[in-house]
Amino acid sequence: MLNTHQLEELLLSPHPLERYWATHLNASSNSWETIYAQHPHLAFLLAQNPHIPVALADQLAEHRNPKVRLMVARHPQLSQQSLEALAQDDEAAIRLQIAKRDDLPAYLIEGLEQDPDAAIHTALRRYQQPHLQQVVDF
């Protein structure tokens, strides 16, 4: 596992491959939080890493930049509160990414079924088929 200084060097590297590599590495929760506190401009890079702690992912789920929120919507573990917020995001691409998740509770799927964007309905049919089938069976 990388320490904070090593991770920070990679994230701030002038070499794109090193920055890309940093989006896949693991580090302590404290390292991620320290780096974000010192370098908030790295939010987009941090949001791409599936190993950032849930607390940081939740914080980035509220970021003003929709590209950051889109990356966070792909995080493998989000709190229920972040899932709810992202499922109602103003950006359709973010709602679409949430519709593809395999950990969505039924009430969020039902909410997304009311979405005005047709692509989200398509994603629900494709990725949420077991849940949608249960709804039809009743």
List, for residues 54-83, the tens digit of each pLDDT value.
999 999 999 999 999 999 999 999 999 999
Both 36 and 10 in a single domain? yes
Both 1 and 45 in a single domain? yes
Amino acid 7: pLDDT: 95
Amino acid 2: pLDDT: 87
Q: Specify if 123 maps to a domain.
A: yes
Q: Specify if 47 maps to a domain.
A: yes
Both 132 and 108 in a single domain? yes
Q: What is the pTM of this model?
A: 0.89
Over residues 42-59, mean pLDDT: 96
For residue 137, name the pLDDT band (cuts at 50, 70, 90): very low
Amino acid 42: pLDDT: 97
Both 53 and 91 in a single domain? no
Q: Specify if 89 maps to a domain.
A: yes
Both 42 and 101 in a single domain? no
Q: Is residue 16 scored above 90 in pLDDT?
A: yes
Q: Specify if 32 maps to a domain.
A: yes
* Residue 50 belongs to domain spanning: 1-64
Q: Rounded to whole angstroms, how far apart are CA atoms 71 and 97?
A: 9
Q: Rounded to whole angstroms, how far apart are CA atoms 62 and 118?
A: 25
Both 5 and 60 in a single domain? yes
How many structural domains does the chain have? 2
Both 86 and 134 in a single domain? yes
| pLDDT tens digits for range 77-136 | 999 999 999 999 999 999 999 999 999 999 999 999 999 999 999 999 999 986 655 544
Both 109 and 57 in a single domain? no
Contacts of range 86-90, beta carbons closer than 8 Å, 24 or more positions apart = 86/61, 87/111, 87/112, 90/66
Amino acid 138: pLDDT: 45
Amino acid 133: pLDDT: 55
Q: Specify if 71 maps to a domain.
A: no
Both 83 and 129 in a single domain? yes
Q: Rounded to whole angstroms, how far apart are CA atoms 82 and 47?
A: 13
Q: Specify if 69 maps to a domain.
A: no
Which residue's structure tokens are 């989006």? 23
Q: Rounded to whole angstroms, how far apart are CA atoms 93 and 32?
A: 26
Could you write out the DSSP letters of every residue in 60-93? HTT-S-HHHHHHHTT-S---HHHHHHHHT-S-HH
